[in-house]
Every structure is written in structure tokens, then in C-alpha cells.
A and B are shown apart, each in its own frame.
Chain A
Amino acid sequence: MDIIFDEVSFSYGHKKVLDQVAFRVPHGEFLAIIGPNGGGKTTLVKLALGLLKPDSGKVSILGDLPERSVHRIGYVPQDLSQAEKFPITVLDTVLMGRAGRSRRRSIQKEDRYKALEAMEVMGVRDLEYSLVGSLSMGQRQRVMIARALTTDPEMLILDEPTASVDQDTQKSLYDNLLRLNREKTIVVVSHDLFAVTSHATAVACVNRKVCYHSEGEIKPEMLELAYGACPVELIAHGLPHRVLGKHSEKGETSDD
């Protein structure tokens, strides 16, 4: 098992974000983590990376404590648009993935090789000396994934990788991830469940509780948990909508 959450609870102050969460993810899965905003998706990821410690329960990643296995994980954080003006080239950004690995102060031949290789895989090799701030969102996302790949991780965790990219870019990003999935376990957090579930082999729906399904399908009970039994929410992506009383059948609701 690559990921084990064993009765894990976590609160920010008095607000319980995750409540006795338990699930296991075997190696090689393409796991989609879905759920409403504020439902605990990012908290779940931070627990898996050891950036947060659970109040109770146990997290095990790649057979070890998260803080001990974190160097074997490639992490792609949520969109960093605030770093837009940061003066840095694509190559230097990707090389960040190799920092902290050794005590070496200067960039080694191997660091450079690994970075260029990862950029090749993600199709951003020719952008080497471009400034990250000048890239499109899709390209920037590829650069961030390349950065995560520079350490040959056994697992990739991506937090909202397609939040601000167009449909075509989204598709090609997922195709890339599917290719990487042949060797690596992939975890993608998204609030956009249709996009992510069409590629996923397992789905975890997070809203304080976690509802885990080992098939990449959305089940009515997951919607129930995530969106309070209102599938309109799901179609409208959280846009405000009027609830027209109880829906009789799922999928037959009308959006106003």
C-alpha cells in the first residue's frame, strides 16, 4: 500500500477539518481527490507530505512516516500565481527540485541532466531560458510537474493542477500524467470532478469524512457526501444556484 490513512483526524484550532478518515491506496493507482472547497482536500495532501501532523490516527506513505518518505514524493503545489513576478528561468525553477538533496552548494552535472530530462518528459525542454512569469498557465503547470519529477519520485501529488488552464491544455496534461502513471502512483486533487475522474482509477471524495472508491467512477453516495446531495452544485462548479426543492432522481435536475 502506497498511502494508508488510519482513523486520521485533524483540526485547525477548533474547526475539525478531517474526522476519522480511513482509506488505503495501492501502488500504481491514479487517485482523484475531489470534494468541495474547504472540505479538507489540501489538508489531506499536507498530512500525506508530513507538512501537517494528525491530531489522532496514523498516516503512512510508501511504507513509512510521511516526513521520512517525503523525499520519494514529487509534489506539485497549488497554482503559484503570486510568484508571477519572481525573476527566475524555467531551468532554474526545475532545478529547485534538486535543491536540498545533497549538501552541494553548486549545481552538479547530474542535477542539470535530471532537470533537462524532466523538462523533456513534460515537453518544456525548449523553454529552458524563458522566464516562468512569461509562460502560459499550462506551460507553467508543466514546469512545476517537471520540477517534481527531477528526483525520480515513486509518487506524484498534484494540488489543483488544472485550476486555470483551458480544456485542451487540461487534456494534454492528463495524457502526460497517464503516461507517468505507468510507473508512479499519481494523486490529483481537483474540485473539477468530471475532468479528473475520466482518468482516475480510484476516487476519494473528501468533505470532513473521506469516501473512497477503488473504481474511477462517481457514486451517488460520494455526491451526497461531497455536495450535500445536490448534483447541481457539481455541474455548476459551485456557482450560486437556486435549489428547486428535493430532486427526485439524480442526473435529472435542471440548472436554473
Chain B
Amino acid sequence: MIDALQYDFMRNAIMAALLASAICGVIGTLVVIKRFVILAGGIAHAAYGGIGMALYFGFPPRFGAISFSFAVSLILARITLLDRGRADTIIGVIWAVGMALGVVFADLTPGYGVHLMSYLFGSILSVSMIDLYLMGSIALLTWGFFYWNYRSILVYAYDEDFARTRGIAVTLFHYVIVVMISLSVVMLIRVVGLILVIALLTIPPYMAERFSRSLMGMAVVSFAFSLLFCFLGLVVSYYLDLTSGASIILVAGGGYFLSRFLPGKEVGRIAK
């Protein structure tokens, strides 16, 4: 593996794995705890609509994806706040329509063959410096936000009604967190792909939950798990010459399976 490090693309990939894991540590923890998995999936897929439109109208795909999913995330934040009962259905609609928009606009764009696969699994091996800077900013932003508002976020995450009675700005936190999910997801799609984003947002935090005693602990442990999976996945993909994104996901899936055999914290056992 050491010899692989002489290549720029490999060093960038490791850096990207580190930053993506950092982002997913915080955002994934919030997504799992607040049951926003479908919401995150909806934003990720709807972003594809923004990419298609950007191709058609001739501005940078990243810009299209960010502005489109920003708009979508505001709508979704409002829906999830007002109508919990049917929110998942509406997310499903936005998910599908966004994706379809992307495909149609890409069809309409002359001379552009869309490689859907590259958006599904990304290509961590072709990460640019700009990608790394953007990911670094988002990583700092998410950890900063999480750290500085930890006490309020904890109450918001645990129960919203009680948080409101304690004067915590639940509505504001909800919007900010959903927008941050959308920013993170979009930022990571090009790098690690749609499916890997969802995998990193769910598998490590879900595993971490079993071994953590606090929300902060869960974020740190899922950061670590995520980093381990990304690194091992890269090694596997390098030596066996496999698609990096899919390798990382399979390693994560295997890790999750193995972790079920480890003893977790004492939840489930009734104390005296």
C-alpha cells in the first residue's frame, strides 16, 4: 500500500475518505437519530435533477446540484416539520421526480452521454483539490455547529416538545440541520457517489449507536468506523482492481455484519 501513496490520486482519495468520514460522523448521527434516512436519500436523488438542469442550461453541475437540493431541502424541512405522518410519501415523490428531471434534462442536452454510474458510486480516486477544499469546509462547518450547539441539539434530537418548553429554537435547528444534510450529501455525491453517501450516513452511525453512551460519542465512533471502512475499501479496490465506492460499501456491510456478534452496551438488560 505504501507504494500506492506515491500517486497524487491515492493521497487525495485518502484525504477525501477522511473528510467524508468526518462529515458523515456528525450528519450521519443526526440522520440516524432523527430518522432522516429517507429524507437524506430524497435530497441525494433529487440533486440529480439539479445536475441535469445544470448540464442543459450550461452551468457547472455542482452549482446546479447545490442550488436545486438547497431548494428541495427547504421544502422537505417544512414538510417534515408540519406533517410527520405523510412526510415519507412526499419525500418519495420528490425523490423520483427529481431523478426523472435529471434524466430528461440530460437527454435533452445535445452531445452529452450521462454516466449514471459515476453519480451512483462516484469516483473517490479522481477527487480534485477543489473537492477537498469544499469537503474540508463542510467538515469544519458541521463539527463546529455540532460542538457549539451540542446541548441544544441533544434536547432537539431527544424530544422536540420538551425542547420547545425549554425555549430551544426547534424550528430553526430543524431547518439548519436539514439544509446541512443537503449540503453534505451534494458535496459528497460527486466524490463518493449517491449510494456511498447513504451507506456512510447510515451504517457507521447505526453501528456506533450500539457502542456509545452519548450523542457526541456516537458521532466520534461513527467517524472512526467510517474512516476504517473507507480505508479498507480503498485497499481492497486497489489490490483487486474493483470499483472503489462499491468496495467501501461492501466492507462497511461486512463490518456491520461482524459487529452484530460483538457485545454492545447494556441496553435491553433491565437494571435493578
Binds A, one of B9-17, B45-53, B175-183, B262-270: B262-270
Contact of B271 with A100 in the complex, beta carbons under 8 Å: no
Contact of B213 with A100 in the complex, beta carbons under 8 Å: no
Contact of A86 with B33 in the complex, beta carbons under 8 Å: yes
Contacts of A165 in B (CB 8 A): none
Q: Knowing A87-B209, A100-B152, A107-B151 are in contact, say whether A92-B214 is a contact too (CB < 8 A).
A: yes
Chain B residues numbered 159-197 whose CB sits less than 8 Å from any CB in chain A: 159, 161-168
Partner of A101, one of B159, B166, B212, B270: B166
Contact of A100 with B215 in the complex, beta carbons under 8 Å: no
Partner of B213, one of A49, A83, A87, A107: A87
Contact of B150 with A100 in the complex, beta carbons under 8 Å: no
Contact of A73 with B151 in the complex, beta carbons under 8 Å: no
Contact of A87 with B215 in the complex, beta carbons under 8 Å: yes
Chain A window 80-108, contacts with chain B (Cβ cutoff 8 Å), 1 for yes, 0 for no = 10011111110011011101110001010
B168 to chain A, nearest CB (A): 4
Contact of A99 with B154 in the complex, beta carbons under 8 Å: yes
Contact of B267 with A85 in the complex, beta carbons under 8 Å: yes
Contacts of B158 in A (CB 8 A): 80, 83, 86, 88, 93, 96
Contacts of A131 in B (CB 8 A): 213, 265-267
B92 within 8 A of A: no
B255 within 8 A of A: no
Q: How many of chain B's residues have a CB under 8 angstroms from any CB in A? A: 33
Contacts of B161 in A (CB 8 A): 46, 49, 51, 75, 77
B155 within 8 A of A: yes
Minimum CB distance partner of B150 in chain A: A105
A97 to B149 alpha-carbon distance, docked (Å): 15
Contact of B163 with A100 in the complex, beta carbons under 8 Å: yes
Q: Knowing A100-B166, A134-B266 are in contact, say whether A127-B159 is a contact too (CB < 8 A).
A: no
A60 within 8 A of B: no
B173 to chain A, nearest CB (A): 11
For the complex, would chain B's binding face be called helix, strand, loop or mixed by DSSP majority?
Answer: helix
Chain A window 39-50, contacts with chain B (Cβ cutoff 8 Å), 1 for yes, 0 for no = 000000010011
B148 within 8 A of A: yes
Minimum CB distance partner of A45 in chain B: B161
Contact of B269 with A134 in the complex, beta carbons under 8 Å: yes
Contact of B159 with A80 in the complex, beta carbons under 8 Å: yes
Contact of A99 with B168 in the complex, beta carbons under 8 Å: yes
Contact of A97 with B271 in the complex, beta carbons under 8 Å: no
Chain A residues numbered 112-138 whose CB sits less than 8 Å from any CB in chain B: 127, 130-131, 133-136
A252 to chain B, nearest CB (A): 42
Contact of A77 with B267 in the complex, beta carbons under 8 Å: no
B218 within 8 A of A: yes
Contact of B267 with A134 in the complex, beta carbons under 8 Å: yes
Contacts of A136 in B (CB 8 A): 270-271
Minimum CB distance partner of A90 in chain B: B271
Minimum CB distance partner of A97 in chain B: B166
Contact of B270 with A134 in the complex, beta carbons under 8 Å: yes
Minimum CB distance partner of B164 in chain A: A51
Partner of B152, one of A49, A95, A99, A135: A99
Contacts of A75 in B (CB 8 A): 161-162, 165
A37 to chain B, nearest CB (A): 17
A88 to B271 alpha-carbon distance, docked (Å): 15
B136 within 8 A of A: no
Contact of B165 with A99 in the complex, beta carbons under 8 Å: no
Contacts of A80 in B (CB 8 A): 158-159
Contacts of A92 in B (CB 8 A): 154, 214
Contact of A71 with B166 in the complex, beta carbons under 8 Å: yes
A69 to chain B, nearest CB (A): 11
A231 to chain B, nearest CB (A): 33
A197 within 8 A of B: no
Contact of A70 with B267 in the complex, beta carbons under 8 Å: no
Q: What are 20 A-B interface contacts by the 8 Å CB criterion?
A: A46-B161, A49-B161, A51-B161, A51-B165, A80-B158, A83-B158, A83-B159, A86-B215, A87-B212, A87-B215, A87-B218, A88-B215, A99-B151, A99-B154, A99-B163, A100-B152, A100-B166, A107-B151, A131-B213, A136-B271
Query: Taking beta carbons and an 8 Å cutoff, which residues of A are in contact with B?
Result: 46, 49-51, 70-71, 73, 75, 77, 80, 83-89, 92-93, 95-97, 99-101, 105, 107, 127, 130-131, 133-136, 139, 147
Contacts A70-B164, A71-B165 supplied; 12 other A-B pairs, CB < 8 Å: A51-B165, A70-B165, A71-B167, A87-B215, A89-B213, A99-B168, A100-B167, A100-B168, A105-B150, A131-B266, A136-B271, A147-B162
Query: Taking beta carbons and an 8 Å cutoff, which residues of B are in contact with A?
Result: 33, 148-152, 154-155, 157-159, 161-168, 209, 212-215, 217-218, 265-271
Nearest 6 A/B pairs, CB to CB: A133-B267, A100-B166, A87-B212, A100-B168, A99-B151, A100-B167
